Amino acid sequence: MSESASSQASAAERSPGRASSTLTRFERGALALTRYANERPTPKRLQTSYVRSVTEFWVSRGISRRTLVDRVDPYVDYEPDRGVVLVSNHRSFFDMYIIMLGLYGSGAEWPKRLYFPVRSTFFYERAAGLAVNFGVGGGSMYPPIFRDRAKAELNKDSLARTTRLLQEPGTLVGLHPEGTRNKGDDPYTLLPAQPGIGQIIVASGATVIPIFVNGLSNDIARDVTLNFRPNGPREHPVVICFGDPIDYSDLAAMKPRPSVYKRTADRAREAIMELGERERRIRERCREGAYPREHPNWVRNRLAARKRR
């Protein structure tokens, strides 16, 4: 991380300004609770245990039979010397949970602390959203990003906190360069990348791994039903493609400024789109029968192999 980028991040975290006064009582309580769960060692360890047991259990039961991973093996015994950012396309509310199933299910042990920044609209403004955050991910959907311009200083604080958290090896942050869920008809066309993601990458100096995931909907009942249909894996696979780490050293060497952040985010978006073409070919081969049910790339088989170790 460059010295100037580091100082900017630290200053933003120390000085969130008066924006906190614009939060409702519920928002302040939700933020305090998730901050406690994510930034203290013991609650964070408990959270990770929850994700590795409870969350993994229900996600694997509901989707692992038709989930296929590609080129995840280099990241199974990975030993990163810094924090890692996973950047992926965003089609479903459950993208990152499925990605983590592919990673953990393959045997990866190095992700010790998980953070998934989210928009505050639902998860920090409504009781149901807060319950989903803790019920599904143990509160790991943190830190929040606020849409209200009056709370822009709090967003600077969230970016700064994410940057700081990424300084420690074992930290994994899941980000979507598009910044919001893509509701378009074509899963291979991504929305424009948002510069905030580029700012986190440049300021943190994190390792950035691109991923393309496709095959999920936002209908839990439908996704689970397809998982148990005889032709579900072949006709309706959920495919997760992992790519090589993104080299952005040339951009990190530049003076930090919005244009550099945007170019960094664009580079992440381009890497994800390239993986989309690979996913398209894998999906076609899957429908042709190239991945029989005993193929080791099915997550169900990887989970079974992990238990035998």
Domain regions of the chain by residue span: 3-308
Other CB atoms within 10 Å distance of the CB of residue 242: 24
Average pLDDT of the chain is: 93
Instruction: Kindly report, residue by residue over 277-286, the tens digit of the pLDDT.
Output: 999 999 999 9
| Distance of alpha carbon 309 from the chain centroid | 27
Cα diameter, the chain: 59
The architecture that CATH gives domain 3-308 is: 3-Layer(aba) Sandwich (3.40)
Residue 131 bridge partners (DSSP): none
Q: How high is the pLDDT of residue 225?
A: 96
pLDDT (tens digit, 9 = 90+) per residue, 157-169?
A: 999 999 999 999 9
Percent share of the chain, pLDDT over 90: 88
94 against 239, higher pLDDT: 239
Spatial separation of the C-alpha atoms in residues 207 and 203, rounded to whole Å: 12
pLDDT digits over 255-264, tens only? 999 999 999 9
CA 22 to CA 27: how far, in whole Å? 9
Length of the chain: 309
Asked if 201 and 263 count as a contact pair (C-beta separation under 8 A), the reply is: no
Average pLDDT over residues 51-55: 95
Provide the pLDDT for residue 18.
55
The DSSP H or E segment spanning 222 is helix 220-228
Is residue 184 pLDDT above 60, yes or no?
yes
